[in-house]
Amino acid sequence: MSRILDMVRDEQSRQVLRHLNEERAHWLEWKPFQAIREKMALLPDLAADHVDFDDGAIVIGRDLPLEDRERQTILEACQAILPWKKGPYRLFGIELDAEWRSDHKWDRMKHRLPSFKDQVILDIGGNNGYYAFRMLADEPSYVLNIDPVPRLWYQFHLLQHFARRPELEFQMWGWEEVAHFEKLFDSVFCMGILYHHFNPIQILKNIHQALKPGGLLVLESIVIPGEEAYCLFPEDRYARMRNVWFVPTVSAMRHMLARCKFEDIEVVAVNRHEAREQRTTVWNPGQSYADFVDATNPDRTVEGLAAPHRAILFARRKKRQ
């Protein structure tokens, strides 16, 4: 059952989303995911008797002995879904040390976040659900994590298989599907997403529509230093990423939010992007941030462009509209 489909008021939008779910369910059956499906089918029917969503490494289940057969089955399933990009997690004692220390980003803003108790929350492009799980520590009513990537669906459902949190849902939708939501969410997270898409203004407009009056947007992005409101537009790649369309200054981000009718815009944190936050690990064996910047000048990417900083901004939809 999908709670979000019951929450969408427009019947045509519900039909579109149902059709999309039917279509994307076939993605999970693609041949490259066969080994994952086989490992997932072997997972023990084991509900975690202990969880901790308020720690940097999300804890699901008490530690199992290294020689435990169930632990080995869980470990093999986790290994089948490499790479793990967001974390860390501690799953029955298995340390899932993902590429991103996502807890660093959370720590930069957690003391400024409002209470999420009884809220309805959306995380756009939420990867395997790390931030969505962190939100559960505050007892929200419902959290929807969306990301149109089958591998991430499998990672989330492996974790959820043991966590079993009915208030948490994953859908393989992208930012475009946010257009089907109207005044549904108390808070929306959009973190590390905006610069990957060529229409950031439409993304912000969709979010604005999806928020309830007075609702909070948590927006995080790579930025470049500078006081003026401008954006770097890479000719080809930025820090080896082909899917970076633009990199704004913080001032440009503020202007984008204001032009999209957000108010109470607040810059919560700005910091240099560092390799200690994004790096190669056993669970992400490929290249990572240290390979994306100039080895002799960390202020420049390998392409010779200004190296990324990261910024977190809060903004709200007007209370009366």
Give, in degrees to the nearest 5, the angle at Cα 132 between 120 and 237: 115
Q: Which tokens belong to 82?
A: 């490499």
Q: Which tokens belong to 140?
A: 């929200």
Summarised one tens digit per residue, pLDDT across range 281-320 is: 999 999 999 999 999 999 999 999 999 999 999 999 999 7
Report, as an integer, the average pLDDT of 192-211.
Answer: 97
DSSP-derived letter for residue 284 is B
**What is the C-alpha radius of gyration for the chain, rounded to an integer number of angstroms?**
20
Q: Which residue is listed with tokens 């089907």?
A: 180
Which pLDDT score, from 0 to 100, does residue 321 have? 61
The secondary structure of 86-97 as a DSSP string is EE-EEETTEEE-
Q: Which CATH class is domain 3-317?
A: alpha beta
| Contact between residue 29 and residue 74 where contact means Cβ atoms under 8 Å apart | no
Residue 189 pairs in a beta bridge with 123, 218
Can you give the pTM of this predicted structure? 0.97
- Sign of the four-CA dihedral 180, 112, 117, 146: positive
State yes or no: cis peptide before 225, omega within 30 of 0.
no
- Start-to-end Cα distance in the chain: 32
CA 62 – CA 178 distance, rounded (Å): 37
Which pLDDT score, from 0 to 100, does residue 26 have? 97
Residue ranges covered by each domain of the chain: 3-317
What mean pLDDT, rounded, does the chain reach?
97
Backbone angles phi, psi at 169, to 5 degrees: -135, 145
